[in-house]
Structure 1
Amino acid sequence: MQDITALGEFLRTRRSRLKPEDVGVASYGRRRVPGLRREELAQLAGVSATYYTRLEQGQSANASEAVIDSLARALDLNEDERAHLHDLARPVPAKRRRPAKPATVRPGTRQLIDAMGEVPAVVLGRRNEVLAWNRLGHLLLAGHHAFDAPDRIADRPNLARMLFLDPHHRNLHVHWEEEAIRAVASLRVVAGRYQDDRELAELIGELSMKSPEFAAMWSRHPVATCASGTKRFQHPEVGDLTLEFEVLHLPDDSGHRVLMYSAKPGGSSEAGLKLLRSMVNSVGF
C-alpha cells in the first residue's frame, strides 16, 4: 500500500530546509517554523496550496508524475531523493500477501565471494541482513559472531541492528555517527521501495524503540543509496583501517547486494588487510 505518512514526513523535512531567499520567495512576517510555508512551496511547484496541503497531510493519493516532478524541482531534490519521492508517491497495487520466505543467497553468489580471498565481501539482503560472507569479510566486520550465523535464520546478523545495538560492532567504526546516518539513509530508500515489507517495518520499529539515536536520525528522513565511499575502522585485531567500499546490486528483483572492501595500495591499511588475511589462513580457513 502507499505510505502516505512517510510521504508527508519526507515533504515536510525537505520543505523545512529551504530558505525563502534561496528560492526567490519574498518573506513577510514572523515564521513559526523553519523553511518554506506550504503555500509558498505549492506556488513554486505550480500546484494549488489546498492540493499540496492534502498531499502532505496524507489526504490525497495518486499524484501524477508531472506533479511529483514539479515538487522535486521545487524542493531541489538530488537524484536519490527524487527517486525516493517517486517511490513514496507512486501508488502500489494492493496484493494478497503470502507468508514471506526467508531470503537465501544464491549458490553462485556464495561461490563468487568465497573466491574473493583477497577482498572482504558480504552478501546482504534488502533489510541489511547478512546472507553470506567470506572468511575475510566475517573477520573484518563481525568476528565475534559464528561464521555460519548467516545460515541460521534465528541467528542471522543484521548490519543495521548491529550498528545501533551491538557494542562490539559499534566500536568498530571510528566515525560511528557518519556510518549510522548512512545506514539510516539507505534503509529509507529501501522502505520507500518496498512499502509492504512487514519484516522491514518490524526492524525499523525495533530500532526506533531500542535506540533513541536511530529514532532521531530516522525522523530527519535522510535518503541516500550509498553505493560507494570510505569507512574507517578500529579493528580489535589489526588496528586502524581506512577502506574503500563498493556495493554491487544483483541483477534481479531480490534487492540483494554484495558489499566489498579494499585498501589503497602501499598504505598502512593495505598492510592491515594483509595481516587480517594471514589470521584467516593461520586458523585453517
Structure 2
Amino acid sequence: MNGSSARQLMSQMLVEKRNSLAPEMVGMRCEGARRMHGLSRRDVAQIADISFNHYQRLEQGTSVGVSAPVIVRICDALLMEDDEKARMLALHQAWARPRRPLAGSRVAGPQAAGEISGRQRASSAGV
C-alpha cells in the first residue's frame, strides 16, 4: 500500500468513526441544539489533546509528521476497538514509511562519507 492510499483510508476511517459518535458517548455534555450529528473535528481534537488544525490536516490527509502516540490518542478519543486501532496504526505506518530517493538523485555512499569526514578533520586541524 502506498502512502496516498493509506492517507485516504485513514481519512475515511476517521470521518466515519467521528460521525458515528454522539457527544454523550464520549462524556461531552451537549447544551442546546447541535447543527451536526456526531462529533465535530474540534471535539475530537479537544478530547485527544491535539490542536484542531493538526487533527483537521490529518483527517484531510494533508498532515505530515504525525506520530504513532498521537494516532493512539485519536483512536482512544474516538472509542476505537483494538482491531480498529491496529488498522489505524498500520495505515499510519504505511503513510509514515520513509520515502525512497527520487530516481537519478545522488545519495552519498560510504566512500563519499569517508571523504567528507576526512575533509572535516583536515579543516579542523588547520590544513
Q: In which range does the TM-score fall when normalised by the shorter chain?
A: 0.5 to 0.7
Which residue is 1:78 aligned to?
81
Mind listing any 5+ residue stretches in structure 1 that lack a counterpart? 97-285
Structure 1 residue 70 displacement after superposition: 0.4
In structure 1, the residue matched to 2:109 is none
1:87 aligns with 2:67: no
Alpha-carbon distance in 2 for matches of 1:80, 1:74: 15
Give 1:157's aligned residue.
none
| Alignment pair present for 1:69 and 2:72 | yes
2:25 aligned with 1:22, yes or no?
Answer: yes
Identify unmatched segments of 5+ residues in structure 2.
Answer: 102-127
**C-alpha distance in 2, partners of 1:26/1:71?**
19
Identity %: 35
> What is aligned with 2:50?
47
Deviations 1:20-63 (A, max 9, x none): 11212122454343210000111100101111011101110331
The residue type equivalent to 1:66 in the other structure is P
Q: SS of the residue aligned with 1:83?
A: helix
Residue 7 (1) aligns with residue 10 (2)? yes
Please tell me whether the aligned partners of residues 18 and 78 of structure 2 are also in contact (alpha carbons under 8 angstroms). Answer: yes
TM-score of the superposed pair, with normalisation by structure 1: 0.32
Please say if residues 15 and 59 of structure 2, whose CA atoms lie closer than 8 Å, have aligned partners that are also in contact: yes
CA contact (8 A) 1:62 1:89 kept: no
**1:72 and 1:16 mapped to 2: Cα distance?**
14
Q: Root-mean-square deviation (CA), in Å?
A: 1.8
**Which amino acid counterpart does residue 98 of structure 2 have in structure 1?**
P
Task: Within 5 Å, give how 1:120-199 maps onto structure 2.
Answer: none
Instruction: Work out whether residues 61 and 89 of structure 1, in 8 Å CA contact, stay in contact via their aligned partners in 2.
Output: no
Counterparts of 1:72 and 1:92 in 2: how far apart (Å)? Answer: 20
CA distance in 1: counterparts of 2:91 and 2:69, whole angstroms: 15
Aligned partners of 2:11 and 2:60 also within 8 Å: yes
- Report which of the two has the higher share of strand: 1
Asked which structure has the greater RCO (Cα within 8 Å, sep 6+), the reply is 2
Amino acid at match of 2:86: A
Secondary structure at 1:14's aligned position in 2? helix
Q: How many residues align?
A: 96
Partners of 1:62 and 1:30 in 2: CA distance: 36
Letter in 2 for 1:93: P
- Aligned-partner Cα distance in 2 for 1:33–1:87: 30
1:76-115 map, 5 Å: 76-90=79-93, 91-94=96-99
Q: Provide TM-score, normalisation by structure 2.
A: 0.67
Amino acid at match of 1:44: I
Conserved? CA contact 2:26–2:79, under 8 Å: no
